[in-house]
Structure 1
């Protein structure tokens, strides 16, 4: 039984990852960072401004789950990578996704599209309590109200169906 994550030797080369993406779905996590008040009500939703190969867009925290990595560890790693080490995410010991998003390389199969691959993503809402500072390819983190997060113009800035995922997360929270 694996008692810890052994991800250091689990990275694939670009060629190996491209070959895997051509043959099988890849497991991802998506996370909607939120701020909650003392009653547990969502007061703000955090959206990244991210630079990718496809341009600049608003985005959720997202990334691959590595070989021998638990889902909780992947969530912590990607939240740390995108929001900084002082974000202080509150993730239960056994996190439960609010939905499973299936990204296809062909648009229109589901609301989710990733031209690189077929990916399956477990989507979570994660309260964060600390100071967040965007890291790596995250250029900015903007906190908005749940009502502002439903703005069609803002949702249109999100690629690959992440706007749909954000709406599903807000609905899951009763917002």
Structure 2
């Protein structure tokens, strides 16, 4: 492990024996009419484009708030501001299974657990990093279930509608 990062071989080994912890946020833009939700379009494990939240894995010894901020800045750029939620109380916990059941949260590359928050945002997001595209959707106009990546089509709309604190498994 050089410079605090795993080599590709080390990462492959670790993810083959231990689940990966991730943080994800569903931005709600409170400075826009209707307070739309922002989704990013990115490629999934099979290089298929689909909509999902902003986020990714937590590094070793990295506080959850810092991991979320790192992913937000990398994906949406420097011109967004957000109100920190209670990072100790995610709105949702998603168990991404390795089995590729397209109707439930999954990622065949690895088993991961994602802590999810709906977070209030303002500003001008710019698609960066893994986001090929960004778009804002009012709650009543979220994409169809099959347009989400990683089997999130049933889960994210429920979270956006205020499903609250609970765990969903795939």
* Length-normalised TM-score, structure 2: 0.84
* Equivalences, count: 161
Aligned equivalent of 2:57, options 60, 64, 81: 64
Structure 2: runs of 5+ lacking an equivalent: 165-170
Counterpart of 2:127 (choices 123, 134, 137) is: 134
Map of 1:82 onto structure 2 = 75
Alpha-carbon shift at residue 52 of structure 1 (Å) = 4.6
CA distance in 2, matches of 1:113, 1:19: 19
What is aligned with 2:42? 50
Alignment correspondent of 1:163: 153
Superposition deviation, residue 58 in structure 1:
1.6
- Residues 120 and 21 of structure 1: is their aligned pair in 2 closer, same or farther, counting only changes over 3 Å? same
> Aligned-residue CA RMSD in angstroms?
2.4
Determine the structure 2 residue equivalent to 1:5. none
1:28 counterpart residue number: 22
- TM norm structure 1: 0.82
Q: Deviations over 1:41-88 (max 9, x none)?
A: 962010112135522222211200001101111111111111111111
> Which whole-Å CA distance do the structure 2 matches of 1:47 and 1:169 have between them?
13
Question: What CA deviation, in whole Å up to 9, does each residue of 1:83-104 have, x standing for no partner?
Answer: 1111112214645211110011
> Can you give the 5+ residue segments of structure 1 that lack an aligned partner in the other structure?
1-7
- Taking a change above 3 Å as real, the CA distance of residues 83 and 95 of structure 1, as seen in their structure-2 partners, is farther
State the distance in 2 between where 1:13 and 1:31 align.
Answer: 27
2:84: which partner in 1?
A: 91
